[in-house]
């Protein structure tokens, strides 16, 4: 039984699809799991020259240390196990708000809370984990002001989404990014 918000349930549903993608991928190719509300600004190939099993994006100066909107995975037995554990933890937190709440306070949303709880535990002991800077790999709220030619993925959420779609809450300083999305 889901006791969380519709947004949390939607994010958990997304994680089910992401997990299936990794479970069904052949060994070793890079699988880039990306939220639908993003756009690609620069080539993504350099990501695969980095040595890792699991990559996630980190914020430089934000209340929440990571953003779960871009996750890079090299499909192998270790990452498949991790994705299954992440999905199981996410489902448990979706059903039990008391379990989720302390992690949500630290990490934010549904998937971020479940991911953060795993990153702090033994579930990553056998993984080569890399932190990817949001400014380059998942440019979002806290890094939009630092957008530059090194930014590869832009996350169109909150104020940027309002600016893109000309709705209340549009932020004039985000117009260049909104124009880039429109182009």
**Full pLDDT tens readout for the chain, 183 residues:** 455 688 888 888 999 999 999 999 999 889 999 999 999 999 999 999 999 999 999 999 899 999 999 999 999 999 999 999 999 999 999 999 999 999 999 999 999 999 999 999 999 999 999 999 999 999 999 999 999 999 999 999 999 999 999 888 789 999 999 999 999
Q: What is the pLDDT of residue 1?
A: 46
For residues 84 and 70, give the distance between their C-alpha atoms in angstroms, rounded to a whole number: 17
Q: What is the pLDDT of residue 179?
A: 94
Q: Are 59 and 66 in contact (CB under 8 A)?
A: yes
Q: What is the pLDDT of residue 4?
A: 62
Does the pTM exceed 0.85?
yes
Q: What is the pLDDT of residue 88?
A: 97
Q: What is the pLDDT of residue 94?
A: 93
- Give, in order, the Cα–Cα distances in Å from 173 to each of 138, 153, 163, 166: 19, 19, 9, 13
Q: What is the pLDDT of residue 2?
A: 52
* Non-local CB neighbours of 121 within 8 Å, separated by 6+ positions: none
Question: First and final CA of the chain: distance in angstroms?
Answer: 43
Kindly write down the DSSP assignment for every residue of 27-84, as one continuous string.
Answer: SS-EEEEE-SSEEE-S--GGGGGS--SEEEEE-SSSSSSEEEEEEEEE-SHHHHHHHH
Q: What is the pLDDT of residue 170?
A: 84
Q: What is the pLDDT of residue 61?
A: 86
């Amino acid at each position: 039984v889901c006791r969380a918000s519709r947004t949390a349930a939607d994010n958990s549903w997304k994680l089910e699809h992401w997990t299936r993608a990794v479970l069904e991928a052949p060994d070793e190719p890079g699988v880039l799991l990306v939220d639908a509300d993003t756009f690609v600004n620069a080539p993504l190939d350099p990501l695969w020259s980095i040595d890792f099993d699991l990559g996630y994006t980190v914020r430089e100066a934000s209340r929440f240390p990571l953003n779960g909107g871009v996750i890079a995975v090299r499909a192998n037995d270790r990452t498949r196990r991790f994705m299954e554990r992440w999905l199981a933890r996410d489902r448990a937190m979706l059903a039990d708000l008391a379990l989720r709440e302390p992690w949500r306070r630290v990490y934010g949303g549904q998937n971020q809370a479940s991911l953060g709880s795993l990153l702090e535990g033994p579930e990553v002991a056998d993984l080569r984990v890399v932190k990817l800077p949001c400014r380059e790999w998942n440019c979002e709220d806290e890094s939009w002001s630092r957008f530059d030619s090194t930014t590869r993925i832009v996350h169109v959420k909150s104020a940027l989404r309002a600016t893109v779609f000309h709705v209340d809450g549009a932020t004039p300083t985000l117009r260049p990014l909104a124009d880039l999305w429109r182009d």
